[in-house]
Structure 1
């Protein structure tokens, strides 16, 4: 038996409100849209991962999703320009990542990170 994929699901009253957030900040493409569910995807492949945590590190809350990017500073600036709520300011963490938290339109906290 092999895990082929892990999909994060975020509850939202209106999934369409999240389109510009995920398309603009992360360049994700809509790969499925049934109105009640919108699925975004990137072209890259990654190993399936699942994290279970008692905190988000550095005393932060546990985010609903972590998204690794190749330029966290650019995404941080896009989030600020877009007026999205920055929940945790950009920081270099002692475990070797640079990251920030942003709240998506449904209220989910997204950990945006780049490995050093």
Structure 2
């Protein structure tokens, strides 16, 4: 038995509002759109993971999802320019990641990070 994939399902009354964040800000493609459900994806592949935490590290709340990107500084600048709420400013963490938290249009806290 092997887990092949894990998908985050984020509840919203209007899936279209997620486009500004996941498609335009993060550059993900819409790979499925049923109207009531939209799936965003990238061509990248990684190991399947689930994290369970009592805090988000450095005293932050646990984010709803984490997204690793190749250039966190570029995404941070774009998120600010687009007016997304920055929940935790860009920070070099002692566990060798550079990250920030941003609130997506659904109200979810997203941890955007790059490994240093």
With the length of structure 2 as denominator, give the TM-score of the two structures.
0.98
Q: For 2:111 and 2:12, locate their aligned partners in 1 and report how far apart those are by CA, in whole Å.
A: 18
Aligned to 2:66: 66
Q: 1:23: Cα distance to partner?
A: 1.1
What is aligned with 2:101?
A: 101
Could you list the runs of 5+ residues in structure 1 that have no partner in the other structure?
none
Q: CA deviation at 1:20?
A: 1.7
The residue aligned with 1:79 is: 79
Distance 1:24 1:82 in 2: 10
Structure 1 moving runs of 4+ over 4 Å: none
| TM-superposition CA deviations, 1:55-99 (whole Å, max 9, x none) | 000000000100000000000001001000000000000000000
Counterparts of 1:29-68 in structure 2 under 5 Å?
A: 29-68=29-68
SS at match of 1:2: coil
| Structure 2: gaps spanning 5 or more residues | none
- The CA RMSD measured in Å over matched residues stands at 0.6
TM-score (norm 1): 0.98
Matched length: 116
- How far apart in 1 are the matches of 2:25 and 2:59? 25
